[in-house]
Structure 1
Amino acid sequence: MITTTATRGPSLVPVKDGLWRVTGRSGAVLGHIERRADARGERFAARRIVQAARSIHLGEFWRIDDAADCFR
């Protein structure tokens, strides 16, 4: 399981295997990162919450750190 705690950026809180909640410094939920299988390896999909029931796809990345950078 991957757990990331950033001192200046967003924090990743494990929700379940392959899914992390992205929180800001204040504790507000910014979005989610989901690990997905790809023919070439694991990918990390980032989604930002824009309203209570809506999110937007930010992209898919080879590294979880790159996905987390979308939330800075």
Structure 2
Amino acid sequence: MDIALENAGPEYDILMDGVVRYASYVFVTVINVEGKAYNSTEMRTAMGALEYDEWLSYHETYSKHVKKQAFN
């Protein structure tokens, strides 16, 4: 999840609706992570702090820096 979020770009710090898919072949394991990346600072500015916190509480998100984490 961390690498997927980092690959989205340095401005993104929230991954929403992350899906991890595993495939295993002889001597090879493939891991694919999909999701939608967001910038929490831009969202908080556009929505306002209360609306942003409410939005965040209703969605499963992953973030290294945002206080609410659905996935650890």
Structure-1-length-normalised TM-score: 0.29
In terms of fraction of residues, the more strand-rich structure is: 1
In terms of fraction of residues, the more helix-rich structure is: 2
Comparing both chains, which one has the higher relative contact order based on Cα–Cα distances under 8 Å and sequence gaps of 6 or more? 2
